A and B are shown apart, each in its own frame.
Chain A
Amino acid sequence: MPESTFLDSTELVLNMGPQHPSTHGVLRVILKLDGEKVNGTECVIGYLHRGVEKIGENRTYQQFAPYVDRMDYVAAVSNGLGYCLAVEKLLNIEAPPRAQVTRVILTELNRIASHLLWLGTHALDIGAITPVFYCFREREEILKIYENYCGARLTTHAFRIGGLQYELYDGFEEQTKAFCDMFLPKVDEYEELLTNNRIWVGRLKGVGILTGEECKEYGVTGPVLRAAGVKWDLRKAQPYSGYEQYDFEIPTGENGDTYDRYMVRMQEMRQSVRIIRQAVDKIPSGPIMGKVPKVIKPPVGEVYVSIEAPKGELGYFVVSDNSTQPYRLRVRPPSFINLQALDRMVRGGLVADVVAIVGTLDIVLGEVDR
């Protein structure tokens, strides 16, 4: 921070975090304040840095798969899917159809789980206590499906390179369908609590506006981009894992403010239910694991594969030098890139809005720092 800011008598420098409940992890934001107004921010990250990319260079391809779950631990299944797709592309193989449909169901469930956690904590930041309990209750149902399927709730390690390790358990279809039936009325209930709530609207409408052009400049993706009216979803733009077979819409907003981002995510949960319902009805039979050699040694080359994670575009860049370990592995985390826009969104706003904006970006610090 430049020296001169301290000499300006009206400017106050305030540290928000790293131990602040509404930074959703350990993020430190240095706020430059003029009274209640925010004149600028600076993010300090790295408190959760574990060197995941470097670990990737020192593990075999299969061994690295559990580590990707620990980046965005709220959406571990999506992380696993991105990594598996990247290595599969490097090996030039494809997962069998049964595995692909199962992957779609599990990642869409994961999108709902991630959005539910976001909704609960975001509402908590704004001051609505009730939704967090309801959201976690429904999230629990999803975690139960994961626990039954692969034996873990959060860091699932559900997918393997080339397909799946575990066969679907008995009653998976019924449990998933029951969840879908139960969940849609619950989304309406959250909307009943929040959408027309005067405090909610007052705190969110017109706060943290980010236009479509600005989103593109910063490289912001995911619901934040869609709330600004840009219809961009990788599931439609470059379908992977058979997403082209499903019928769903891309919800978009208009103003690109915090309220629109809330509405987009609520709609996305409904669309996810729609995809899950279509997918559950047509799980094909057949093998779940493709023909993958026991020792994975991809040919020399590099790939970049990106998927639409709940928070935005999640990309994996893998370079192979024909050994059992990646030569270089780079992750494009959506949270990290979306966090860049924080300064732009906060500048000129009020201190209380910072909390709302950090919440609406839906960052996970495990992914920002890696």
Chain B
Amino acid sequence: MGKLFRKIFLVDLFQGLWVTFRNQNPKYIYTEQYPAERPKVAERYRGAPRLNINPENGETLCIGCNLCALACPEGLIVVTTERNEKTRRKELTTFTYDTSRCMFCGLCEDACPVDALELTQDFELASYTREGAIWDRQMLEEGPKPTRYRC
């Protein structure tokens, strides 16, 4: 009798649909409308690298100590310096960072004694060419400029 009742009134079907509808709650929707809405990544997110500059005079914070290049397991950072004869200090000349080989482990960031190198919250690193993935000093200071789409 009970079996027949369940069959006629499709009880099992409604039970199943109840599970489905229970999960339609907007609280449970995780789909991100990516290009239209940028996801908010965590504060500690390890994304695009940035070489910080002193906001007051625009000079780089990097002291050219080469520690980041030594810490990197992939050896993808190349730092060159020049000795300034007047001030007798090392000055940074070039800084290249190959994002195509980087695994964003954060070891270089940890190694930097003056917090010049930092992994930021930018995550759009794609480029049309292989060379475009190798960032020079200017690019590292300015950060990536991804296209902003509006829908």
CB neighbours (8 Å) of B104 from chain A are 152, 155
- Cβ of B108 to closest chain A Cβ, rounded Å: 11
**Which one of B20, B71, B73, B103 contacts A64 once the chains associate, using CB atoms below 8 Å?**
B73
Per-residue A-contact encoding for B121-145, CB less than 8 Å = 1, 0 else? 0000000000000000000000000
Verify A165–B23 contact, CB threshold 8 A: no
Selecting from A118-126, A142-150, A257-265, the interface stretch reads: A142-150
- Is A193 on the interface with B (CB-CB < 8 A)? yes
Contact call A148/B42, Cβ cutoff below 8 A = yes
Closest Cβ of chain A to B121, distance in Å, is 9
Give the complex CA separation of A150 and B41 in angstroms.
12
CB distance from B131 to the nearest CB of A (A): 25
Is B59 an interface position by the 8 A CB rule?
no
Cβ of A157 and Cβ of B23 under 8 Å apart?
A: no
Contacts A157-B105, A193-B19 given; does A151 touch B119 at CB 8 Å: yes
Asked if B110 is at the interface of the complex by the 8 Å CB criterion, the answer is yes
Chain A residues with Cβ under 8 A from B72's Cβ?
63
Alpha-carbon distance between A137 and B23 when the two chains are bound, in angstroms: 11
Which of B72, B106, B110 has most A Cβ within 10 Å?
B106
Nearest-CB residue, chain B, relative to A192 = B19
**Alpha-carbon distance A149/B106, docked complex (angstroms):** 13
A150-B23 in contact (CB<8A)? no
A61 to B138, CA, bound (A): 33
**Is the beta-carbon distance between B105 and A149 smaller than 8 angstroms?**
no
Point out the residue from A59, A137, A148, A165 that lies within 8 Å of B43, measured CB to CB: A148
With contact pairs A140-B30, A155-B103 given, residues A149 and B73 touching in the complex (Cβ less than 8 Å): no
Closest chain-B Cβ to A292's Cβ sits at a distance in Å of 13
Inter-chain CA distance A166–B110, complex, in Å, is: 10
Q: Give the size category of B's interface with A.
A: 20 to 34
In the complex, per-residue mask of B1-43: 1 if CB is within 8 Å of any chain A CB, else 0: 0000000000000000001100100001010000000000111
- With an 8 A cutoff between CB atoms, is B44 at the interface? yes
Contact A67 B44 (CB under 8 A): no
Name the B residues within 8 Å of A166 (CB-CB). 44
CA distance A70 to B105 in the complex (A): 11
Closest to A62 in B: B107
* Complex CA distance for A79 and B107, rounded to whole angstroms: 18
Q: Given A137-B28, A189-B19, verify A63-B46 contact (CB < 8 Å).
A: no
Task: Say which residue of A59, A63, A157, A189 sits within 8 Å of B106 (CB atoms).
Answer: A157
B150 smallest CB distance to A (angstroms): 26
Q: Kindly identify, within residues 85 to 118 of chain B, every residue whose CB is under 8 Å from any CB belonging to chain A.
A: 103-107, 110
Nearest residue (CB) in A for B41 is: A147
**Please, which residue of chain A has its CB at the minimum distance from the CB of B28?**
A137
List residues of chain A with CB within 8 A of the CB of B43: 148, 169
At the interface, yes or no: A47 with Cβ under 8 Å from chain B?
Answer: no
Q: What CA separation (Å) do A70 and B103 show in the bound complex?
A: 10
Residues of B contacting A63 in the complex (Cβ-Cβ under 8 angstroms): 71-73, 107
Q: Mark B49-81, 1 if CB is under 8 A from A, else 0.
A: 000000000000000000000011100000000
The reply to whether the CB of A134 lies closer than 8 angstroms to some CB of chain B is: yes
Over the window 124-142 of chain A, the binary record of Cβ atoms lying under 8 Å from chain B Cβ atoms (1 yes, 0 no) is 0000001000100100100
Report if A66-B107 is in contact (Cβ < 8 Å); known contacts: A151-B119, A189-B19: yes
Residues of B contacting A130 in the complex (Cβ-Cβ under 8 angstroms): 19-20
A140 to chain B: closest residue by CB: B30
Q: Which residue of B lies closest to A160 (CB)?
A: B110
Query: Complex: how many Å from CA A188 to CA B71?
Result: 46
With a cutoff of 8 Å between Cβ atoms, the chain A residues found around residue B20 in the complex are 130
Assess the B73–A67 pair: CB atoms within 8 A.
Answer: yes
B42 x A147 contact (CB < 8 A): yes
Task: Specify the chain B residue showing the minimal Cβ separation from A294.
Answer: B111
Report whether A152 and B46 are in contact in the complex, using a CB–CB cutoff of 8 Å.
yes
How far is it, in angstroms, between the C-alpha of A137 and the C-alpha of B24 when the chains are bound? Answer: 12
The answer to whether B103 touches A148 (Cβ under 8 A) is no
The residues in A between 55 and 90 inclusive whose CB is less than 8 angstroms from any CB of B are 59, 62-67, 70
Between A and B, 30 residue pairs with Cβ closer than 8 Å are A59-B73, A62-B71, A63-B107, A64-B73, A66-B103, A67-B73, A130-B19, A140-B30, A144-B42, A147-B42, A147-B45, A148-B42, A149-B44, A150-B44, A150-B46, A151-B42, A151-B44, A151-B106, A151-B119, A152-B46, A152-B104, A155-B103, A155-B105, A157-B106, A165-B110, A169-B43, A169-B44, A189-B19, A192-B19, A193-B19
Q: A144-B42, A151-B46 are in contact. List 16 more A-B contacts (CB 8 A).
A: A62-B71, A63-B73, A63-B107, A65-B105, A66-B73, A66-B107, A67-B73, A147-B41, A148-B42, A148-B43, A150-B44, A151-B45, A152-B45, A152-B104, A157-B105, A192-B19
